[in-house]
Structure 1
């Protein structure tokens, strides 16, 4: 039973608590909280009357309780998820209860391993486009953060929309940053003006949302107006439009748009983060890079990778998993406690805002020896078998685990294999500052010098 002792709290400053620390460096603040006070820490932030208390859970055991074994007690009811919902719709990422269960039933058949494996060709085609563009890279230097964001966006857009890639990529690329900044600012603010007030920030966000919604609605209307007899050959949006549950219910136009927006959001920023930091880390560790490249060469030769190659590229997969350990695309996962729950020997009260943090747990010395060191062998089958299931959870866990995790791994392995076979990478920026947005964000460039494999010294 819980001991009744108040959860340890992080020291803050008078009046605003840890507000400024969280705004300046939330991930560093969470790390310090664990180091000083343990695996359940209460952080207060905000002025009196608007102060929020955040219960931070850092152990693998605690993460498992929040996300899995006690998941019913922790809902997506906090202010941040509401802002995401208000901008990106009530899709699979943000919906709850009956809405979520219905959406999951409709979407699940489209994310089976067999179905997802069929997207390998689209990923390979977009990666070939990136390689062609890199042939013109000035001075042989590319910012892998920017480049992987572009590659992942084109890949997920091709899979979602098929031939309509170019019609949507530019709009998404232009509008998403405006909307995500708006969501972040409002989601972490102790008080907000109504969205309907004509402030400059509200007007910019509304214009970006209108443009994004318009392009999605246009393509959704086209799919609904032209059903296909061969859905297995079509893009994901066509499959979504044709999905039916056991009661023959389908997504309506607005629901389809909501699913599309969520897939665009979750399907490109997360994979882009994993790929960018895998390349950055390999650019700092030439021995590991050479080992991964040799595996790719021995398995693929000169052919394009296929879905079945994932099992034949175990070390490359370990590289990606280690990159996702050090740089998890979802560094913080928030919930709202709806019932008092015992965690780490204390009671988290009903109504509390709760976070689990892959960023912190992935660096926890209880589960990881020398946690800041890049070591893909941490993910050998033997090493993984001896570790707590929630010591590594970049895709979340429990009933709300990411439905697209196999797609993310498929895309990442295929793209990374093709990039490593073609180029050597040397990190120019040794350190890349990051922050917690909707996903993990690089706050500076992640530049690498690239050289065609086998053509040393040639730019």
Structure 2
């Protein structure tokens, strides 16, 4: 229906061009081109900008964000943190709103409780990831559990559940503690260098390496060891993919959507495709190695021992399912399907956890009273972490379950609520349906914005915008479980939620307790909000380290040696890793991306005036940060 006006306009313009060329001797081609251009303009302005969205569209009765549909709310979305515009719209126009993207493209944002339950629990098969999103993401994560739909998804989830059971996570705890201790030790070594030339430590990079090591070791019994070997191919590959410039990722995505990949210059995406090849090869290697190891385990343990065997990882869970299917003369997962599961959990399983941990450290550095209370609880339950010894017995740490620390659990939940690692999920309706009393036609794109729902006063009370771990001990009466949308809900809820939370808790216990990192307060991580365009020289200490971010992205620098760089740059702002000065008064502000869900912003500041103008131009999130 949206295109029904254009054929008539083109037909009329063609007839008009024929009459002009016949009676007034105009060149037909010239008149026809001008007429068609005029017809297209009329179609865009009148039909897509007024008639269709407000008088024809089946969604015209849904509360709509004001604006001209031809470009819609694109600029609000492009210039603000992901999910923040939706948060503002829901507070102003209601729990279900319609907004527009360029050329009148309609989209809904849903925050109404019954509608969310319907989408996530009632009829999840009717609300799937859009095809183009799946095509793009499959290039990075494979066609594993993350992108499967319908019966395929249910079957895969059933097979993989044992790998994320409480027992499996308990068996993985030594890996969590071991990598957390290695990370803290490497940071301590960096801080002890103590020279002005010491490199700054980019926290997100280190956390990504730690979480990659953890998911590879705990999930697949494969030791990447990127904490000690940052040049490990798989780590470099993910670094290329997750930190590629925005335009590179756009071209990479377009290559999957256009009918001919040759339409995109190959030199632009060769680097990303090379990184993808590294990931595919490692995933294949892991599958082959684990299949051999699982086969050897079958041959060396009897049936009674097999239930309690130690190799309760993702590949062994798949192998057990294949074994049961073989007895029923059915086929299990193919090699490619197993490889894709490895790709899914390697990529998605480490990036989101690193994001959550980076924001945890930032929020704890801002809220010192929370940090001190958390450190006190950790000291009571894990006194060994506060001892001056250089090495720790990992098995002694596993004797205490960090999940039993109530305030630590509250802190982790509040961080995940306050800044969800995946701020927004898009679903596409596959059938005509009714949501919150509104008719929703098939093909409608729907936003489920965790970064909006997690902050709505209608669910979280008047203090929804405040970072407060204690809220989880006294939730408001208006609260409902569906309001915590960080991990989604229903059959599509994150299968690794408990895994991620326990990993966060183990890492935070070690990092918060390290004596060398008591400076995790504002002295170590600090960010000043752009309350005004410039900062007085005396406002900030030149020995502190600070961070900036784009689209809600933290780019932390762990260094107390930023004073030299700040002095050379001429203003009291710390530089972000890598600490690269272009000249005496030029500074790179780099807003590092956090996975494929975020964007990259690189600004080269030529002088102080330009710095004042552009320092925070890459996007400003949470007003109270």
1:247 is aligned to 2:329: no
SS of residue matched to 2:72: coil
SS of residue matched to 2:428: strand
Match of 1:35 in 2: 91
Change (3 A) 1:70 1:10: same
Aligned equivalents of 1:384 and 1:407: distance in 2?
28
Question: For 2:261, which of 189, 193, 196 is the aligned residue?
Answer: 196
Match of 1:351 in 2: 443
Aligned equivalents of 2:527 and 2:292: distance in 1?
49
Match of 2:221 in 1: 162
Aligned equivalents of 2:102 and 2:233: distance in 1?
36
Q: Decide which moves more: 289-298 or 248-257.
A: 248-257
Match of 1:445 in 2: 555
Change (3 A) 1:14 1:387: closer
Match of 2:342 in 1: 260
State the shift of 1:354 in Å.
0.9
Match of 1:214 in 2: 281
Q: 2:421 touches 2:486 (CA, 8 Å); kept in 1? A: yes
Q: Structure 1 length as normaliser, TM-score?
A: 0.86
SS of residue matched to 1:118: helix
Change (3 A) 1:265 1:84: same
Aligned equivalents of 2:259 and 2:138: distance in 1?
15
Aligned equivalents of 1:11 and 1:200: distance in 2?
41
Question: For 1:276, which of 358, 362, 366 is the aligned residue?
Answer: 358
Match of 1:438 in 2: none
Change (3 A) 1:120 1:307: farther
Change (3 A) 1:12 1:4: closer
Match of 1:185 in 2: 250
Match of 2:475 in 1: 383
SS of residue matched to 1:149: helix
Aligned equivalents of 1:412 and 1:203: distance in 2?
35
Change (3 A) 1:302 1:87: closer
Change (3 A) 1:46 1:192: farther
Question: For 2:209, which of 150, 164, 178 is the aligned residue?
Answer: 150
Aligned equivalents of 1:384 and 1:161: distance in 2?
41
Match of 2:485 in 1: 393
Higher RCO (Cα < 8 Å, 6 or more apart):
1
SS of residue matched to 1:261: helix
Q: Decide which moves more: 159-168 or 122-131.
A: 159-168
Aligned equivalents of 1:391 and 1:292: distance in 2?
25
Q: 1:144 touches 1:448 (CA, 8 Å); kept in 2? A: yes
SS of residue matched to 2:62: coil
SS of residue matched to 1:137: helix
Q: 1:240 touches 1:251 (CA, 8 Å); kept in 2? A: no
1:433 is aligned to 2:549: yes
Aligned equivalents of 2:260 and 2:512: distance in 1?
46
1:331 is aligned to 2:447: no
State the shift of 1:395 in Å.
1.0
For residues 310-321 of structure 1, the aligned pairs below 5 Å read: 310-321=402-413
Change (3 A) 1:403 1:279: same
Aligned equivalents of 2:404 and 2:84: distance in 1?
37
For residues 87-102 of structure 1, the aligned pairs below 5 Å read: 87-102=140-155
Match of 1:456 in 2: none
Aligned equivalents of 1:34 and 1:78: distance in 2?
27
1:287 is aligned to 2:369: yes
Change (3 A) 1:392 1:135: same
Change (3 A) 1:341 1:16: same
Unaligned runs of 5+ in 2: 1-57, 386-395, 530-547, 561-625
Change (3 A) 1:190 1:207: closer
Aligned equivalents of 2:432 and 2:498: distance in 1?
34
Q: 2:213 touches 2:223 (CA, 8 Å); kept in 1? A: no
Change (3 A) 1:157 1:351: same
1:297 is aligned to 2:385: no
Q: 1:305 touches 1:417 (CA, 8 Å); kept in 2? A: no
Question: For 1:45, which of 75, 86, 101 is the aligned residue?
Answer: 101
Q: Which portions of structure 1, spanning 4 or more consecutive aligned residues, are displaced by more than 6 angstroms?
A: 186-191
Deviations 1:404-452 (A, max 9, x none): 11111111111111111113212222455353xxxxx62x5234569xx
Change (3 A) 1:446 1:371: farther
1:79 is aligned to 2:147: no
What's the C-alpha RMSD, in Å, of the aligned pairs?
A: 3.0
1:412 is aligned to 2:504: yes
Aligned equivalents of 2:484 and 2:253: distance in 1?
26
Q: 2:234 touches 2:282 (CA, 8 Å); kept in 1? A: no
Change (3 A) 1:184 1:222: same
Q: Structure 2 length as normaliser, TM-score?
A: 0.64
Unaligned runs of 5+ in 1: 436-440, 451-459
Aligned equivalents of 2:456 and 2:506: distance in 1?
30
Higher Cα Rg: structure 1 or 2?
2
State the shift of 1:330 in Å.
1.6
State the shift of 1:30 in Å.
2.0
State the shift of 1:116 in Å.
1.5
State the shift of 1:338 in Å.
1.5
Q: 1:59 touches 1:361 (CA, 8 Å); kept in 2? A: no
Q: Decide which moves more: 410-419 or 201-210.
A: 201-210
Q: Report the number of matched residues.
A: 438
State the shift of 1:240 in Å.
4.2
SS of residue matched to 2:446: strand
State the shift of 1:178 in Å.
3.9
